[in-house]
Structure 1
């Protein structure tokens, strides 16, 4: 895929993943990389921003003698995900009209 995913799409993807279960950062990156060609360094600034906005919270859990930082979606994050999904639906519809030459049908 040569079209790059916007930050908002990546944010929505992370929030959507976290509605299923809590993940630690590396796993989030690997799950998103299954769909979008992003580098590992792309995801951590997004996670920090989502936490700063109050859409995620974190907790640490021991794993094989080390701590892993897990991310959990908040109620505000769930509301933001709804907003992102609505915006995506509008963008997809508008883009489909142009790319598929539907002429407003």
Structure 2
């Protein structure tokens, strides 16, 4: 859907963390996950920026390994802080969606 990028900026960290919580992964695989779930407007560079930000926040465990094809690749998994951050994200998300649905119900 066009025009989602701006709306998704605040949610993208949570979406990326959710994917990582499902098992160790790498940047391109996360990008494909987003595309497969209808978020084709999110480009690979954006995903790597989010991963860098999450790593700087101390939410990820990053392991460098040789890939089956090509050079070394960074693999990401959640650490305990990342799991707590993700749980907090979903709590905030639930509050926001409940509030937005209620506000929408007040339309005239």
**Would you say same fold, with TM above 0.5?**
yes
Q: 2:61 touches 2:77 (CA, 8 Å); kept in 1? A: yes
* Deviation sequence 1:62-102 (CA, Å, 0-9, x none): 12352111011110000000110011001101110122338
* Structure 2 stretches lacking a partner, 5+ long: none
User: TM-score under structure 1 normalisation?
Assistant: 0.86
Give the structure with the higher percent strand: 1
- 1:11, distance to aligned residue in structure 2 (A): 0.6
- The number of residue pairs the alignment matches comes to 102
Unaligned 5+ residue runs, structure 1? none
| 2:62 maps to 1:72 | no
Q: What is the alpha-carbon root mean square deviation over aligned residues?
A: 1.7
Partner of 1:8: 10
Q: CA 1:8–1:74 in structure 2 vs 1: closer, same or farther (change >3 Å)?
A: farther
TM-score by length of 2: 0.84
Following the alignment from structure 2 to structure 1, what is the Cα–Cα distance between the partners of residues 22 and 43? 23
Kept after mapping to 2: 8 A contact 1:58/1:71: yes
Any idea what SS the aligned residue of 1:23 has? coil
Deviations 1:20-63 (A, max 9, x none): 11001111111122232211111111000000001112111212
1:96 match: 101
